[in-house]
Amino acid sequence: MPRVALAAALALLAACAPRAPGDGVGGPRSLDVAAGGARFRLVYGPEDEGEARSVAAALALAAPRAQRFGPLAVPVTITLHPSHAALEHAAARPGYPWLRAWARYATIELQSPRTWRDGGLLGRLVGARRGRVAELLAHELAHCAMWQRAGDAQTWLYRGIPRWFTEGLASVAAGQEERHGDLAALARFYDGAAASPAAGAGGADPLSESEALYLGQAELVYGAAHHAFAFLASRYGDARVRAVLDGMGAGLSFPSAFRAAIGIEPAAFEAEFRRYVAWRGFER
């Protein structure tokens, strides 16, 4: 953008910037937002004034979806970071170039969508990017809602929730099925792992051994998590999924809460899902 146009654009942004607490020159700013019955605080630098308002608008779409399996009972602080390096630092997750956000109990670290480089031409179109921001926020906020229902600010990390459940819940709540390979692709992965356990992924299971696959084959892990959780929710119902979270909220570990609400061990459910996929139950 030419310098004059940039200056004009910045002047326009400054003219319609909302008055918010902490609105010092050059310092961090904040904006309080209510959406979907939940409360949020956006924190951002002066360079992200416009992005903060886009994120606030996206929350109207994201917040209702995020609460399918539990309410956002505790207000969530969403911090916009001006670069990917700043996000990795705040998330304490170096070496994840595809990372765009990181959720904890009542916070989300978000790389400013202004700096997202993925998505090519489509990603640069404002409408497409807005939808992508809402989808990502729905996913991250679903994590917060899950942890808030399953624990408190001290205990949320210590329930022993497996990655397939955490990521699957967020992906299903955000409606991200189209981002993943289909069940036929997962079935082919299981076929290959069974035929040559020493080859490729070493036969590791994307549900129970996700750590071994996470760095190199994150998409496989996220896809399997989505499908396994969707299978859980459709077979046993959302109410039982919420009951798993309530069991943890009452102090149970994940395996105990899962057993109490679903009626079988987590490992038995994982085996049930693997059989469903490997035997192409989804084609019937």
Taking the least distance from each CB to Zn ion, the nearer of 72 and 170 is 170
Contacting range for Zn ion; rule: CB under 5 A; set: 51-59, 80-88, 106-114, 163-171: 163-171
Residue nearest to Zn ion (CB): 170
Contacting range for Zn ion; rule: CB under 5 A; set: 14-22, 72-80, 169-177, 183-191: 169-177
Q: How far is the CB of 263 from Zn ion (least distance, A)?
A: 27
Q: Which two tokens stand for residue 254?
A: 């994940």
Contacting range for Zn ion; rule: CB under 5 A; set: 49-57, 112-120, 162-170, 269-277: 162-170
User: Is 157:134 a contact under the CB 8 Å cutoff?
Assistant: no
Task: Please pick, from the candidates 43, 87, 91, 170, the single residue that binds Zn ion as defined by CB under 5 A.
Answer: 170
Q: Residue 220: in which H helix or E strand, if any?
A: helix 218-236
Taking the least distance from each CB to Zn ion, the nearer of 48 and 167 is 167
Q: How far is the CB of 170 from Zn ion (least distance, A)?
A: 5
Taking the least distance from each CB to Zn ion, the nearer of 147 and 269 is 147
Q: How far is the CB of 139 from Zn ion (least distance, A)?
A: 6
Taking the least distance from each CB to Zn ion, the nearer of 111 and 187 is 111
Contacting range for Zn ion; rule: CB under 5 A; set: 19-27, 164-172, 184-192, 211-219: 164-172
Cα-Cα-Cα-Cα torsion 84, 86, 87, 89, nearest 10 degrees, comes to: 120
Token pair 């654009």: residue:
9
Q: Which of 45, 37, 100 is nearest to 64 (CA)?
A: 37
- C-alpha distances in Å from residue 180, one per residue of 88, 148, 186, 225, 227: 24, 27, 10, 10, 9
- First and final C-alpha spacing in the chain: 55
144 binds Zn ion (CB under 5 A): no
User: Is 98:174 a contact under the CB 8 Å cutoff?
Assistant: no
Contacting range for Zn ion; rule: CB under 5 A; set: 9-17, 61-69, 126-134, 159-167: 159-167
Q: Which of 64, 13, 10 is nearest to 34 (CA)?
A: 64
Give the side-chain half-sphere CA count within 13 A for 53. Answer: 11
User: Is 98:62 a contact under the CB 8 Å cutoff?
Assistant: no
Residues at the interface with Zn ion (CB under 5 A): 167, 170
